[in-house]
């Protein structure tokens, strides 16, 4: 018997469902562990990444249809129309906690080029590495409306941070970049710091819970002075020493506004010259 | 205006014995039908009746008189009540030999769709092709014909050609040299009289040792056909009688051609002779019909009928359950706004037309709990479904729709042991924990199903395993509606304002139905 994903219509249905749905609205009941209680969370895992219509057609070739001659062109057309209709107007994509890695991130990056209205892309709580981050970074210049990219709790590392930093100057609308818990060290922080002054719209950069040391922090402090658009910089739970923290406070003070974070939450926006934030 | 009396033309074997005028053969059972010969295609058969016979339960005298006036096949012999997508009815006076194709074409014209987008169902079974409706077994006493909207996908339209092609592939194999056209033409040939059913063809073909040699096969097919051809009709005197064993393929084909021509001529002749009678009969029928029926050309009447009509109310009372229920509940403006916000309008048309019916999650959960298995849409009771208005009312924080994507384990029954049903029900139970209602799309139960056997071959009969269990929607083979039938459902099933104003409810969905709005939940098993 053909398994689910080898069957034409099953494959199509899963592809349709995989396009723009909220991450909690696609359940794979094969993941249900059969425990006394039904945990929907297990069933979110392993959702397919969205595919382009061309890729869809290519994959369709090896799927089994009872009526292949008529159904194959039909579903190909339906998928293309559906894809254009859904991604053409999608403003927010929530692919959270789906267990995705680099391959899925690459797929999302390809789709980004066809989602002109997209404003927020949520990919937190996945396992995206440097390669995936690079693919996304390369797509950023082609996402004219993208304001928010959330990659919290992935593992993009220094390499990934560097790739994103290189793309920042070319991301026309990106206001929020969130890279919490991504194993980013000094090298990544320095690369980001270098790009900050040239990022046209970036207002918030979250780097909580990484491995940034003094060197990275100093570079960021320096960059603060030249990045007037940046309003929030989250650096708690890193490896920053006292001196570097002081440098950051000074830089904020010079800028005239202070944002106080605690555990990633914005606690207060203090008046000019009042102190520190990291 | 006098309402027509419903005549049971097909009641009992005893009745059939009293119909020598019709040349009727004895029906095989009390409830299958002599409609083959009568050509009384369809469900609600309204014939002119003689008032003096009103006292007898089956006024055969008037029936006989009627048919004498219009020798077989009776022109304008049967008035059909046809339910269209969107809840409208069509009063259709069937021309001689009206076929499923004719009815579908007429219905398509009436609701502005292509015939290929519609399918005709009687009970649980789809009616197809050019054969007279009366020949289709299962068009039973008191049944109702339904025209439903076909959805995209699931292969080509199930035409007789497709059916026969499936038979061809099954019996001959793909590498045979015989052309498909030849095969299909041989089997569907109508010139000699009746269409050959798939079962008959199968039985016949089973006797031939079919090799790879196309010529041999062709001969076999022609032989098979000639063996099946009924005795020549009296009108077709020019047709030479065919010896079954001695005829060559060429001879047989020649004979077929001749028979075809003769049949065409006969048809023309009959039409000419019967034109006056037919017109008369159609006028009588029109006068008797409760609804306003406008006579068009000879023998063909079409009228849209008001749902308030008494006869229609009786029909409504006997409504088979395979259309979505029309239960209306109060829906607040806020709820409707949310429904629209979550993309509900995208699926509204296809739901309103009845092409798709969403299951009530609660019903599925209960079905699973009592160890049941899924049934095709035609075999499900009303309470299995959510009405559109109930769905509207259930809109809370998301579109209350779940689409199930699943592997079909068998062509005739996707989930014979209910394994997937249990998995889905478990998830649904979790999703409806708050007492909220959810409409579930599950293809087998939500879309009208063509009947297939376990090997996937299209079937002429209804789902065999259902019929055996006697579970096919009772209403579909239910009682003849009487005038005294309660019209309790007439108000409920009169199209709601929303549906009525939406002519577009008959329009094809602007987006494939498998394309769910972004806020719809998809379940894969």
Local confidence band at A98 (pLDDT 50, 70, 90 cut-offs): very high
Q: Is A2 on the interface with B (CB under 8 A)?
A: yes
Q: Token digits for B169?
A: 């592939």
| Nearest alpha carbon to residue B99 among B138, B154, B42 | B42
* Distance in Å, alpha carbon of A104 to nearest chain B alpha carbon: 19
Q: What is d(CA B90, CA B110) in angstroms, rounded to the nearest whole number?
A: 8
**Structure confidence at residue B83 (pLDDT):** 65
Helix locations, B470-514, DSSP H: 490-493, 497-501
Bridge partners, B294 (sequence order): B302
Whether the predicted interface score ipTM is above 0.90: no
**What domains lie within chain A, and their CATH numbers?**
1-89 (no CATH), 91-278 (3.80.10.10)
A54 band by pLDDT with thresholds 50, 70 and 90: very high
The predicted-structure confidence for B468-500, as pLDDT tens digits, reads as follows 655 554 333 322 222 333 333 333 333 333 322
Across the interface, do A82 and B424 touch by the CB < 8 Å criterion?
no
Q: Which residues of chain B make contact with A3, given a CB cutoff of 8 A?
A: 407
Are A10 and B152 in contact (CB < 8 Å)? no
A82 and B426 in contact by Cβ < 8 A?
no
- Chain A residues touching residue B426 (CB < 8 angstroms): 29, 32, 38
pLDDT band at A247 (very low <50, low <70, confident <90, very high): confident
Is the pTM here over 0.80, yes or no? no
Return the pLDDT at B264.
Answer: 46
Yes or no: say if A210 and A238 are a contact pair by the CB < 8 Å rule. yes
Measured between alpha carbons, how far is B155 from B152 in angstroms, rounded to an integer? 8
Q: Does A28 touch chain B (CB under 8 A)?
A: yes
Cross-chain CB nearest to B525 (options A30, A40, A90): A30
Q: What is the DSSP string of B441-456?
A: E-HHHHSPPPPB-TT-
Mutate to test the interface with B, among A28, A38, A46, A82 (most CBs of B within 10 A): A38
Question: What pLDDT score was predicted for residue B47?
Answer: 30
Chain B residues closer than 8 Å to A70 by CB? 155-156
Give the pLDDT score at A163: 96
Judge: A70–B519 Cβ closer than 8 Å, yes or no: no
Evaluate if residue A22 carries a pLDDT over 60. Answer: yes
Query: Where does the pLDDT of residue A143 fall: very low under 50, low under 70, confident under 90, or very high at 90 and above?
Result: very high
Burial call B245-271: b when 16+ CB within 10 Å, e when fewer: eebebeebbebbeebbebbeebeeebe
Residue of higher predicted confidence among A123 and B109: A123
Q: Do A71 and B154 touch (CB under 8 A)?
A: yes
Minimal-distance CA residue of chain B relative to A78: B512
pLDDT of A181 > 80? The answer is: yes
Tell me whether residue B36 is exposed, middle or buried, using C-beta atoms within 10 angstroms of its C-beta: 0 to 12, 13 to 18, 19 or more: buried
Q: Does A36 touch chain B (CB under 8 A)?
A: no
Greatest mean pLDDT among A67-81, A198-212, B152-166, B202-216: A198-212
Burial of B504 (0-12, 13-18, 19+ CB in 10 A): middle
Chain A residue with minimum CA distance to B411: A66
Whether B518 sits inside 8 A of A86 (CB atoms) is yes
- Interchain contact, A25 vs B424, CB within 8 Å: no
Least confident of A188-192, A242-246, B399-403: A242-246
The answer to whether A22 contacts chain B (CB < 8 Å) is yes
| Cβ-based interface (< 8 Å): residues of B facing A | 152-156, 398, 403, 405-407, 409, 411, 423-424, 426-427, 429-431, 456, 511-512, 514-516, 518-525
Q: Can you give the pLDDT at residue B162?
A: 52
Has residue A194 got a pLDDT over 90? Answer: yes
From the CA of B429, how many Å to the nearest CA of chain A?
9
The shortest CB-CB distance from A10 to any of B155, B398, B407 is to B407
Question: Is B106 in contact with B48 (CB distance < 8 Å)?
Answer: no
pLDDT digits (tens, 9 = 90+) for A229-242: 888 888 888 888 88
Least confident of A13-17, A53-57, B118-122, B317-321: B317-321
User: Å from B523 to nearest chain A CA?
Assistant: 5
Contact indicator for B175, B214 with CB cutoff of 8 Å = no
- Among left, alpha and beta (phi > 0; psi -120 to 50; other), residue A275 is left
Tell me the C-alpha to C-alpha distance, in Å, between residue A101 and each of A22, A97, A135, B63, B347. Answer: 18, 11, 12, 76, 34
Q: Is A67 an interface residue toward B (CB < 8 Å)? A: yes
Taking one residue from A and the other from B, the number of pairs with CB-CB distance under 8 angstroms is 105
Question: How many angstroms separate the CA atoms of B204 and B224, rounded?
Answer: 6
Any CB–CB contact under 8 A between A3 and chain B? yes
Distances in Å between the alpha carbon of A189 and those of A37, A159, A212, A259? 44, 10, 7, 19
Establish if A16 touches chain B: CB-CB under 8 angstroms.
Answer: yes
Query: Which residues of chain B have a CB within 8 Å of the CB of A32?
Result: 423, 426-427
Find the CB nearest B518 among A14, A21, A74: A21
- Under 8 Å between Cβ of B3 and B290: yes
Q: Does A29 touch chain B (CB under 8 A)?
A: yes
Instruction: Give the separation between CA B189 and CA B342, rounded to whole angstroms.
Output: 52
Cβ atoms within 10 Å, residue A191: 22
3-state secondary structure of B99: strand
From the CA atom positions of chain B, what is the Rg in Å? 25
- On the question of a cis peptide bond just before residue A66, with omega within 30 degrees of 0, the verdict is no
Substitution target from B153, B397, B434, B458 for chain A, most A beta carbons within 10 A: B153
> Is B511 within 8 Å of A85 when comparing Cβ atoms?
yes
Shortest Cα–Cα distance, B266 to chain A (Å): 39
The pair phi, psi for residue A55, each rounded to 5°, is -65, -40
Q: Which residues of A touch B431 (CB under 8 A)?
A: 40
Nearest residue, CB atoms, A29 vs list B411, B423, B520 = B423
Interface with chain A: mutation pick from B117, B398, B405, highest number of A CBs within 10 Å: B405
Preferred mutation among A8, A25, A64 to probe B, highest tally of B CBs within 10 A: A25
Report the distance separating Cα B46 and Cα B295, nearest Å.
16
C-alpha A118/C-alpha A241 separation (Å) is 39
| Nearest chain B Cα distance for residue A13, angstroms | 6
Using the Cβ of A266 and the Cβ atoms of chain B, whether some distance falls under 8 Å is answered with: no
> Mean pLDDT for each 10-residue chunk of chain B (525 residues)?
33 35 30 31 29 32 27 40 63 65 78 77 71 60 64 59 49 44 48 48 53 49 48 33 31 45 41 40 37 28 32 39 73 91 86 86 94 85 89 88 88 85 91 90 87 68 61 37 32 32 31 47 63
The predicted pLDDT at position A9 comes to 87
**Which of A25, A28, A90 is closest, CB to CB, to B520?**
A25
Residue of A nearest to B428 (CA): A38
Token reading at A173: 């609308």
Identify which of B405, B515, B523 has the shortest CB distance to residue A78. Answer: B515
CB contact under 8 A, B518 and A90: yes
């Amino acid at each position: 018997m053909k398994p689910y994903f080898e069957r034409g219509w099953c494959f199509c249905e899963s592809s349709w469902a995989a396009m723009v749905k909220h991450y909690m609205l696609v359940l794979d009941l094969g993941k249900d562990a059969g425990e006394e209680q039904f945990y929907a969370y297990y069933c979110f895992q392993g959702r397919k990444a969205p595919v382009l219509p061309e890729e869809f057609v290519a994959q369709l070739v090896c799927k089994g249809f009872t009526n292949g001659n008529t159904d194959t062109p039909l579903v190909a057309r339906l998928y293309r129309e559906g894809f254009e209709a859904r991604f053409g107007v999608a403003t927010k994509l929530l692919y959270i906690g789906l267990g995705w890695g680099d391959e899925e991130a690459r797929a999302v990056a390809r789709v980004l080029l066809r989602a002109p209205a997209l404003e927020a892309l949520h990919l937190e709580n996945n396992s995206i590495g440097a390669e995936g981050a690079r693919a996304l970074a390369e797509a950023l210049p082609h996402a004219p409306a993208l304001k928010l990219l959330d990659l919290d709790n992935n593992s993009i590392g220094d390499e990934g941070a560097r790739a994103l930093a290189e793309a920042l100057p070319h991301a026309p609308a990106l206001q929020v970049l969130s890279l919490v818990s991504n194993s980013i060290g000094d090298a990544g922080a320095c690369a980001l710091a270098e790009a900050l002054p040239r990022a046209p719209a970036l207002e918030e950069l979250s780097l909580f819970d990484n491995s940034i040391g003094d060197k990275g922090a100093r570079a960021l402090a320096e960059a603060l002075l030249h990045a007037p658009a940046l309003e929030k910089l989250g650096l708690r739970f890193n490896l920053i020493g006292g001196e570097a923290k002081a440098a950051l406070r000074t830089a904020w003070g010079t800028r005239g506004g202070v944002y106080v974070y605690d555990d990633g939450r914005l606690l207060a926006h203090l008046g000019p010259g009042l102190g520190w934030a990291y | 205006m006098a309402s027509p009396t419903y005549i049971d033309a097909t009641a009992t074997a005893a009745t059939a014995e009293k119909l020598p005028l019709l040349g009727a053969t004895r029906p095989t059972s009390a409830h299958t039908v002599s409609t083959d010969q009568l050509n009384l295609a369809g469900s609600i058969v309204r014939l002119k009746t003689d008032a003096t016979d009103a006292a007898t339960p089956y006024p055969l005298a008037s029936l006989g008189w009627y048919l004498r006036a219009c020798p077989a096949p009776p022109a304008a012999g049967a008035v059909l009540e046809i339910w269209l997508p969107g809840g409208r009815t069509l009063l259709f006076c069937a021309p001689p030999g009206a076929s499923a194709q004719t009815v579908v074409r007429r219905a398509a014209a009436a609701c502005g769709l292509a015939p290929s987008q519609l399918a005709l169902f009687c009970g649980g079974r789809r009616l197809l092709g050019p054969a007279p409706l009366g020949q289709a077994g299962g068009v039973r006493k008191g049944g109702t014909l339904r025209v439903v909207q076909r959805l995209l996908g699931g292969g080509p339209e199930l035409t007789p050609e497709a059916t026969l092609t499936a038979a061809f592939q099954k019996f001959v194999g793909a590498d045979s040299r015989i052309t498909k056209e030849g095969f299909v033409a041989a089997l569907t040939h109508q010139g000699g009289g009746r269409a050959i059913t798939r079962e008959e063809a199968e039985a016949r073909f089973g006797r031939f040792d079919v090799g790879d040699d196309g010529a041999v096969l062709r001969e076999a097919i022609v032989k098979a056909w000639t063996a099946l051809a009924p005795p020549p009709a009296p009108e077709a005197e020019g047709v030479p009688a065919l010896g079954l064993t001695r005829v060559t393929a060429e001879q047989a084909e020649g004979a077929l051609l001749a028979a075809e021509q003769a049949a065409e001529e006969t048809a023309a002749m009959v039409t000419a002779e019967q034109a006056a009678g037919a017109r008369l009969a159609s006028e009588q029928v029109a006068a008797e019909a409760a609804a306003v029926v406008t006579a068009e050309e000879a023998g063909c009447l079409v009228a849209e009928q008001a749902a308030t009509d008494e006869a229609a109310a009786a029909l409504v009372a006997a409504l088979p359950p395979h259309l979505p229920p029309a239960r209306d509940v109060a829906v607040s403006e806020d709820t409707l706004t949310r429904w629209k916000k979550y993309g509900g309008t995208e699926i509204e048309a296809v739901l309103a037309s009845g092409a798709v019916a969403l299951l009530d999650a609660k019903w599925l959960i209960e079905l699973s709990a009592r160890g049941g298995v899924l049934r095709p849409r035609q075999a499900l009771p009303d309470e299995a479904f959510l009405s559109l208005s109930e769905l509207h009312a259930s809109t809370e924080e998301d579109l209350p729709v779940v689409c199930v994507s699943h592997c079909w384990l068998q062509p005739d029954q996707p989930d014979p042991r209910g394994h997937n049903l249990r998995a889905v029900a478990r998830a649904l139970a979790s999703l409806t924990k708050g007492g909220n209602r959810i409409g579930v799309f599950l293809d087998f139960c939500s879309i009208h199903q063509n009947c297939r056997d376990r090997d996937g071959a299209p079937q002429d009969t209804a789902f065999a395993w259902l019929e055996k269990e006697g579970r096919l929607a009772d209403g579909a083979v239910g009682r003849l509606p009487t005038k005294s039938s309660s019209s309790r459902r007439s108000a409920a099933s009169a199209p709601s304002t929303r549906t009525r104003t939406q002519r577009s409810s008959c329009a094809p969905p602007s987006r494939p139905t498998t394309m769910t709005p972004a806020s719809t939940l998809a379940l894969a098993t």
